[in-house]
């Protein structure tokens, strides 16, 4: 049994809580949120505007602290997942062990890219490189989608360089009405705008897959949908396979070593059709195209629940 504590109860925190509660190999021991009551916890856990109702109760203990150093996590907790987005360095995250008797083997997982050299692990790509670090990052939802695709392409065909655009659903950091945000377009209302923004996914890929360091760049475009995102990937390949060869490669991998990591959609689907898909990445096979050595792939991902599922896969690898 893996005992889990979660700091923060936003989009990812709540979905992780649901996945832990329904998993017989895990126990949701503690939740920390500065102001959440027990009644609010049960209500928020049960209802969700995107992912529907969840009817499995939880007896998790609720803490109401602002800083990691003040949280009295239960001593038996094996994994603390920090989903707040406020603490992004090793020195900040290791403070989760300050006010408790967590075992030395307890691991702190950040559900975001770090702001220091904290190692990043994407299950299905580089999770086997984990070497008993006490604080790690599970990267971002976009890196989790992009990494297995470019890893396979680079191993089989060699990526010379590439560009990616993540067409990303709205997130909690955006605003319903225009708000002044110096030097950024993300302060404009999410309700009726397509908003170019930045993403650290390409930089993160270079850390998760060192062979691709400096070979990719990326940009984000925020669109007014509540969930499901799409990576538009363009790469120059050293070898020049046919379109169907690439699609068939990912079909075969999705059935074997990349099962639950990569999926392939051969149907003519739209974003809402992928709601709840637990894979890291779903290749939109009808959209794959090439022009000489330039290849374009469209890759869907549930940036909320798909990402949460992959964190759970990482947790299982670390502790089972």
pLDDT tens sequence across 243-291: 999 999 999 999 999 999 999 999 999 999 999 999 999 999 999 999 9
- Indicate which residue of 80, 110, 141, 201 is catalytic: 141
CA–CA dist 309, 297 (Å, integer): 23
> Token match 């360091």: residue?
213
Write down the pLDDT at residue 210.
98
Tell me the mean pLDDT in the region 206-221.
98
Write down the pLDDT at residue 61.
97
CA–CA dist 258, 256 (Å, integer): 6
With contact defined as beta carbons under 8 Å apart, do 31 and 16 qualify? Answer: no
Domains in the chain, CATH or no CATH each: 2-118 (3.40.50.720), 141-304 (3.30.360.10)
Rounded to 5°, the CA angle 144-241-251 comes to 50
CA–CA dist 308, 304 (Å, integer): 6
Write down the pLDDT at residue 271.
98
Does the pLDDT at position 99 exceed 90?
no
Rounded to 5°, the CA angle 299-305-308 comes to 105
Does the pLDDT at position 220 exceed 90?
yes
Report the share of the chain in percent with pLDDT over 90.
99
What secondary structure letter does DSSP report for 286? G
145: annotated active-site residue? no
pTM above 0.75, yes or no: yes
CA–CA dist 317, 138 (Å, integer): 13
CA–CA dist 40, 149 (Å, integer): 39
């Amino acid at each position: 049994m893996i005992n889990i504590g979660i700091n923060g109860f936003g989009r990812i925190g709540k979905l992780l809580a649901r996945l832990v509660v329904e998993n017989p190999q895990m126990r949701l021991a503690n939740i920390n949120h500065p102001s959440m009551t027990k009644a609010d916890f049960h209500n928020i856990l049960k209802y969700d505007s995107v992912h529907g109702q969840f009817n499995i109760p939880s007896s998790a203990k609720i803490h109401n602290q602002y800083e990691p150093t003040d949280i009295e996590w239960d001593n038996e907790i094996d994994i603390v997942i920090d989903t707040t987005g406020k603490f992004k360095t090793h020195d900040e995250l290791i403070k989760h062990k300050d006010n408790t008797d967590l075992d030395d083997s307890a691991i702190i997982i950040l559900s975001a890219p770090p702001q220091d050299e904290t190692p990043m692990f994407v299950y299905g790509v580089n999770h086997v490189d984990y070497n008993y670090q006490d604080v790690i990052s599970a990267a971002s939802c976009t890196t989790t989608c992009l990494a297995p695709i470019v890893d396979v392409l680079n191993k089989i065909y060699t990526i010379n360089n590439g560009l990616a655009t993540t067409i990303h659903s709205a997130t909690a950091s955006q605003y319903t009405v225009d708000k002044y945000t110096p030097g950024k377009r993300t302060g404009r209302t999410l309700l009726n705008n397509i908003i170019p923004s930045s993403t650290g996914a390409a930089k993160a890929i270079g850390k998760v897959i060192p062979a691709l360091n400096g070979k990719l760049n990326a940009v984000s475009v925020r669109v007014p949908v509540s969930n499901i995102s799409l990576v538009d990937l363009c790469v120059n390949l050293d070898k020049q396979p046919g379109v169907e060869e690439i699609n068939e490669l990912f079909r075969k991998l999705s059935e074997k070593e990349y099962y639950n990591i990569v999926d392939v959609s051969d149907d003519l689907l739209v974003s809402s059709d992928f709601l709840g898909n637990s894979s890291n990445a779903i290749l939109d096979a009808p959209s794959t195209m090439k022009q000489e050595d330039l290849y374009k792939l469209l890759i869907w991902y549930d940036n909320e629940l798909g990402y949460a599922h992959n964190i759970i896969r990482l947790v299982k690898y670390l502790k089972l």
